[in-house]
Amino acid sequence: MNTSLTRHRVSAALAAAALSVSLGALTPPASASAPEGDGAFGPGCASVPKEGAGSFEGMADDPVATAASGNPALSTLVTAVEKAGLVDTLNNAKDITVFAPTNDAFAKIPKADLDKALADKATLTKILTYHVVDEPVEKADLADGSFKTLQGGTLTTSGSGDAYKVNDTATVVCGDVQTANATVHIIDTVLMPQ
């Protein structure tokens, strides 16, 4: 057997295999689809339900207050929004951003203080509207941002990659979650207006 011909066949086979591998890395399998919550980022995204109203797909179909009601990690926030009478306000707003505290974020507040805030509609409204910005705030905007809230105060954001802070106190645990009328950044601490 001709050694030169064998080397040529081996080289051609290796080149074909390398091309096949590199093309395979660029092309997803036919059965693959875009991940749910495409664009969402952060460690807390793993706890978002995979299907149903509270899933990324389900939340994208509903306005923000309704969307949040389907996510079990946001049930305290939903209760607070209902007590403050803000459901319609949030659901009817256009292109807003909500920094949504998780149940664990509310649990950091001493129970007596939380109960007092939940019982005082004016205080509750002030706190909740401080978490809402009247413009879309996407991941790229979080690196070094300053945003006026519906409450009238200002939120600041900082960070890079998938790690962002709000007011240097809250961490975005799952950002860029899309609802029908809002971008939601789920955070681990309740923000308090000045």
- pLDDT tens digits for 151-178? 999 999 999 999 999 999 999 999 999 9
pLDDT score for 49: 86
Mean pLDDT by 10-residue block, N- to C-terminus, for the chain (194 residues)? 43 36 33 51 90 89 94 94 96 97 96 91 96 96 97 97 96 96 97 91
Helix 75-84 to helix 111-119 angle (10° resolution) is 30
Distance of CA 159 to the CA centre of its chain: 15
Give the 3-state secondary structure of residue 71: coil
Phi-psi region of 129 (alpha: psi -120 to 50; beta: other; left: phi over 0): alpha
pLDDT at 54 (0 to 100): 85
Q: What is the pLDDT of residue 187?
A: 98
| Residues paired with 163 in a beta bridge | 160
Instruction: Please name every residue paired with 166 in a beta bridge, in sequence order, or none if there are none.
Output: 157, 170
- Predicted confidence at residue 15, as pLDDT, reads 36
Determine how β-strand 170-178 pairs with β-strand 182-187: antiparallel
Residues 96 and 98: their CA atoms lie apart, in Å, by 7
Q: Residue 185 has which token pair?
A: 């950044």
pLDDT digits (tens, 9 = 90+) for 129-145: 999 999 999 999 999 99
The hierarchical CATH code for the domain 43-187 is 2.30.180.10
